[in-house]
């Protein structure tokens, strides 16, 4: 059997490419380590010396503000040197291949590559070709995976709900184009969440999504009933008005999270969103800013989770 | 070989520490054995400040060789350490590297007035210029063995020898 490319011979995390295929112990180790780092981020001095002398290269082949910034903050809090490369604007456009770009950066003594690329598999390709002391962290590769977002969602759920084994979690909206949804579904099932629901119009649910172990709902009211956790996904502007969806207003009417729909979930339900939000499209402002919303804490936890991932892979 | 009784050493340390307690005294225990010992000493001394607990995983000097260990605990220091006279508590003093890491972490929380080291047992073998101000007992440990504090279901503390884990 082929070894999971993310794990070394001892079964330890060497690269983070996808939540899919990660054993439960590794997920728990990441979440536990992140919890220790949340303590660090609450101190006066928010830095630890773990990655002193190491270089983290942020390789962004696609634009991103939030993910790149939180990786940068995380790396700096681990005392690493951070180099941000906007490849979309650099030699890539001059025709340099992905592996040539990485080989050049490796010659500049990189230790960790944080990669965002619109093609699924680009981080895998890089991970197969880096030196043993170099590590790759997938920061979102097209429609495939966004593992650190999935991990920070898992962290947020554990923070507020303590354990997974009694939870009903609903993921709502554009499941088809969401890497967050896939990463999160794999994580939730691995950690023992008994019921994961996906809610959305037929056109935005990938065919065969049931095979991931989720219950499918097209009616949001039915799907939200008695949920503990509601994860709203961003509806990308380019999906609207085309064949998949009639309009933003129409989507909001059926799948936008309003106070009335939220009241069908459990009274202590939490509302999450990976950001950036489209207010009035997938979520109403009163809910986004309301007492059930944990959307901003998600961002803060995201830093600790990325610190955990980088410090674990760099040590293995 | 016979190891000293941990419970007796606790009583002895409390007697020694009582004279040292002042208005600025606060205690911090190092996970895991040091935290158990600190919980005991903290209760017996009836210190007014809540107990601080530290995991020095992010400050270890062997991270590059060994990586992060798998079961990190969250450091919790529920008081301002600036100007405090800190009692830093660990179960066994050996190379001194844990204490070095702990002091580095402490200074990321502030500037204590003083730090004194309290240990249940000193097994020698120092690799850094560190010594304990309060030490329960000196213990000879055969090579290849490690000395550990254990706590049973009834909260009883005991020292134990066990084979060193392979690095």
Question: Which two tokens mark A20?
Answer: 């899919």
Task: Give pLDDT, residue A1.
Answer: 47
What mean pLDDT comes out for the span B26-51? Answer: 97
Model confidence over A78-99: pLDDT tens digits?
999 999 988 766 655 666 788 8
State residue B151 phi and psi, 5-degree precision: -130, 125
C-alpha to C-alpha distances, A150 to A127, A139, A301, B77, nearest whole angstrom: 20, 11, 12, 30
State the count of interchain CB pairs (< 8 A) between A and B: 52
What mean pLDDT comes out for the span B107-118? Answer: 96
Global confidence as pTM: 0.92
Looking at the predicted structure, is the pLDDT value of residue B96 above 70? Answer: yes
User: CB under 8 Å to B139, separation ≥6 — which residues?
Assistant: B3, B4, B121, B122, B123, B147, B159
CA distance A294 to A297: 5
Question: Which two tokens mark A252?
Answer: 């909001």
CA distance A26 to chain B (A): 9
Model confidence over A95-121: pLDDT tens digits?
678 888 888 888 888 999 999 988 878
CA distance B139 to chain A (A): 33
Task: Give pLDDT, residue A41.
Answer: 87
Q: Closest Cα to residue A19, out of A153, A133, A162?
A: A153
CA distance A307 to A89: 27
Task: Give pLDDT, residue A90.
Answer: 62
CA distance A129 to A131: 7
Alpha helices in chain A (DSSP H): 24-41, 66-77, 98-107, 122-129, 147-161, 179-190, 220-224, 248-255, 259-262, 285-288, 295-315
Task: Give pLDDT, residue A92.
Answer: 59
- How far the first Cα of chain A sits from its last, in Å, is 22
Closest chain A residue to B67, measured at CA: A315
Task: Give pLDDT, residue A201.
Answer: 92
CA distance A83 to chain B (A): 21
Q: Closest Cα to residue A313, out of B70, B60, B68?
A: B68
Q: Which string of b and e fits A272-309 if b means at least 16 CB within 10 Å?
A: bbbbebbeebbbbeebbeeebbbbebbebbbbbbbbbb
With an 8 Å Cβ cutoff, are A36 and B57 in contact? yes
C-alpha to C-alpha distances, A74 to A46, A51, A232, B149, nearest whole angstrom: 10, 11, 25, 35
B57 chain-A contacts, CB cut-off 8 A:
36
Give, for B18, the enclosing helix (H) or strand (E). helix B6-18
With an 8 Å Cβ cutoff, are B70 and A48 in contact? no
Task: Give pLDDT, residue A231.
Answer: 97
**Which residues in chain A show pLDDT less than 50?**
1
Looking at the predicted structure, is the pLDDT value of residue B133 above 90? Answer: yes
User: CB under 8 Å to A65, separation ≥6 — which residues?
Assistant: none
Q: What is the dihedral of CA A139, A145, A148, A150, to 10 degrees?
A: 150
DSSP A268: T
State residue A272 phi and psi, 5-degree precision: -120, 160
A50 chain-B contacts, CB cut-off 8 A:
58, 63, 68
- ipTM of the assembly? 0.86
DSSP A293: B
B110 by Cβ neighbours in 10 Å (0-12 / 13-18 / 19+) ranks as: middle
A43 chain-B contacts, CB cut-off 8 A:
108-109
Q: Closest Cα to residue A67, out of A311, A305, A316?
A: A305
Quick check: helix, strand or coil at residue A102?
Answer: helix
User: CB under 8 Å to A193, separation ≥6 — which residues?
Assistant: A164, A165, A167, A168, A169
A8 chain-B contacts, CB cut-off 8 A:
none
């Amino acid at each position: 059997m082929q070894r999971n490319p993310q794990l070394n011979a001892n079964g330890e995390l060497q690269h983070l490419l996808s939540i899919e295929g990660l054993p439960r112990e590794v997920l728990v180790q990441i979440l536990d380590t992140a919890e220790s780092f949340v303590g660090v981020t609450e101190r006066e001095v928010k830095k630890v010396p773990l990655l002193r002398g190491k270089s983290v290269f942020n390789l962004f082949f696609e634009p991103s503000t939030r993910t790149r910034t939180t990786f940068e903050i995380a790396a700096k809090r681990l005392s690493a040197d951070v180099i941000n490369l906007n490849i979309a604007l650099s030699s890539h456009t001059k025709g340099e291949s992905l592996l040539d770009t990485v080989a050049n950066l490796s010659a500049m003594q990189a230790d960790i590559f944080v990669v965002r690329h619109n093609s699924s598999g680009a981080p895998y390709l890089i991970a197969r070709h880096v030196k043993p002391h170099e590590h790759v962290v997938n920061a979102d590769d097209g429609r495939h995976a966004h593992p650190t977002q999935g991990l920070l969602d898992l962290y947020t759920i554990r923070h507020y709900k303590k354990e997974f084994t009694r939870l009903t979690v609903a993921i709502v909206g554009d499941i088809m184009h969401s890497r967050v949804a896939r990463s999160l579904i794999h994580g939730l099932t691995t950690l023992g969440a008994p019921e994961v629901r996906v809610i959305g119009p037929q056109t935005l649910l990938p065919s065969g999504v049931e095979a991931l172990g989720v219950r499918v709902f097209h009616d949001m009211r039915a799907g939200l009933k008695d949920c503990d956790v509601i994860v709203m996904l961003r509806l990308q502007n380019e999906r609207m008005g085309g064949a998949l969806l009639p309009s933003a207003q129409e989507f909001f009417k059926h799948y936008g999270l309003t106070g009335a729909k939220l009241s069908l979930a459990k009274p202590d339900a939490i509302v999450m969103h990976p950001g950036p939000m489209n207010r009035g499209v997938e979520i109403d402002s009163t809910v986004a800013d309301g007492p059930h919303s944990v959307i901003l804490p998600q961002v803060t936890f995201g830093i600790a989770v990325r610190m955990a991932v980088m410090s674990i892979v760099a040590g293995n | 070989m016979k190891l000293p009784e941990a419970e007796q050493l606790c009583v002895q340390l409390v007697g020694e520490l009582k004279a040292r307690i002042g208005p600025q005294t606060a205690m911090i225990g190092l996970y895991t054995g040091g935290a158990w010992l600190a919980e005991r000493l903290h209760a017996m001394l009836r210190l007014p400040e809540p107990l601080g607990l530290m995991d020095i995983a992010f400050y270890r000097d062997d991270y590059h060789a060994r990586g992060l260990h798998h079961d990190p605990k969250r450091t919790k220091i529920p008081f301002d350490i600036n100007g405090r006279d800190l009692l830093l508590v660990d179960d066994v003093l050996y190379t001194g590297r844990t204490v070095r890491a702990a002091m580095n972490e402490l200074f990321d929380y502030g500037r204590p007035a003083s730090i004194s080291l309290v240990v249940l047992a000193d097994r020698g073998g120092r690799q850094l210029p560190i010594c304990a101000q309060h030490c329960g007992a000196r213990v000879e440990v055969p090579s290849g063995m490690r000395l550990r504090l254990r706590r049973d279901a009834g909260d009883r503390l005991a020292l134990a020898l066990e084979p060193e884990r392979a690095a």
